[in-house]
């Protein structure tokens, strides 16, 4: 479902070059929850952000559901990205918009008619158990609730893939567990393939069917967690 083929990223800062990701190949099968773990600076986030070309690879190819993203035009990429949801450590919600408007925003971008938008916003907030917070603003919510709104937004366009960049790193252990349970539910009920970057080994152990270890811009190990991709 997600394939990185000899993908690399080199940054230039001043006169210094940094190989954030060295040529890396990784195949994530449909229905799996693939964790990427490693220390800060290992290249995890850069690799994840290349999955939807938030970060343009220096070389290599990225495929989502068989479609090569690296060869697409701007318009085609915008279209392809609708099937790729993403959540972040700091939620990235629009602070001056309500929860409902935050979710509706991506549906407007997808040009969904107004009535269908309202219905889908309700459904998505329902999935994350926040229907009653629809009219509230992000500042009125706890961290865990904000992340649930971000999950609702990521789900709005029925993605095949969900990219998670340190989704629980700003949360306490109890809230972390509840977010992991929502991610598991999304994987199981909607067959969304998940790629999750974390520096928290416990998070990877709890959720992932496979875990790749990144060090110095390279995957050094790929661990099979011997768990079914979808737990009963």
For ligand ADP, the closer CB: 45 or 187: 45
Query: Rounded to whole angstroms, how far apart are CA atoms 144 and 184?
Result: 15
What are 99's two structure tokens?
């929860």
Q: Which residues, numbered 51-80, are part of the site for ligand ADP (CB under 6 A)?
A: 61, 63, 65-66
**Residue 217 CB partners (closer than 8 Å, separation 6+):** 19, 20, 21, 22, 24, 42, 43
Compute the least distance from the CB of residue 185 to ligand ADP, in Å: 20
What's the number of CA atoms in the CB half-sphere (13 Å) around residue 1? 19
Among 8, 24, 34, 46, binds ligand ADP (CB under 6 A): 46
Segment contacting ligand ADP by CB under 6 A, of 35-43, 137-145, 175-183, 218-226: 35-43
Q: Which residues, numbered 1-20, are part of the site for ligand ADP (CB under 6 A)?
A: 1, 3, 5, 11, 13, 18, 20
Report the SS3 class of residue 227: coil
For ligand ADP, the closer CB: 54 or 227: 54
CB atoms closer than 10 angstroms to residue 111:
7
Query: Rounded to whole angstroms, how far apart are CA atoms 103 and 127?
Result: 12
Contact 61, 5 (CB under 8 A): yes
Q: Binders of ligand ADP: how many residues, by CB under 6 A?
A: 22
Task: By CB under 6 A, tell whether 119 contacts ligand ADP.
Answer: no
For ligand ADP, the closer CB: 68 or 172: 68
Interface contacts to ligand ADP, rule CB under 6 A = 1, 3, 5, 11, 13, 18, 20, 27, 29-30, 38, 40-46, 61, 63, 65-66
């Amino acid at each position: 479902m997600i394939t990185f083929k000899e993908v690399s990223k080199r940054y230039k800062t001043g006169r210094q070059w940094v190989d954030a990701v060295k040529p890396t190949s990784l195949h994530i099968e449909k229905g799996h929850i693939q964790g990427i773990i490693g220390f800060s600076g290992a290249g995890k986030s850069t690799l994840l952000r290349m999955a939807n070309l938030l970060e343009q690879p220096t070389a290599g190819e990225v495929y989502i559901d068989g479609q090569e993203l690296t060869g697409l035009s701007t318009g085609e990429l915008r279209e392809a990205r609708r099937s790729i949801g993403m959540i972040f450590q700091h939620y990235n919600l629009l602070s001056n918009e309500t929860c409902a408007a935050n979710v509706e925003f991506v549906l407007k971008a997808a040009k969904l008619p107004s009535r269908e938008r309202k219905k889908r916003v309700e459904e998505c907030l329902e999935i994350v158990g926040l229907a009653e917070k629809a009219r509230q603003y992000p500042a009125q919510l706890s961290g865990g609730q904000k992340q649930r709104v971000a999950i609702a937004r990521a789900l709005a366009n029925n993605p095949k893939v969900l990219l998670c960049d340190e989704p629980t790193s700003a949360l306490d252990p109890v809230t972390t567990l509840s977010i992991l349970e929502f991610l598991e539910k999304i994987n199981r009920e909607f067959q969304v393939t998940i790629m999750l970057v974390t520096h928290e080994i416990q998070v990877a152990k709890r959720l992932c069917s496979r875990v790749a270890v990144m060090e110095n811009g390279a995957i050094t190990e790929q661990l099979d967690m011997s768990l079914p991709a979808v737990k009963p």
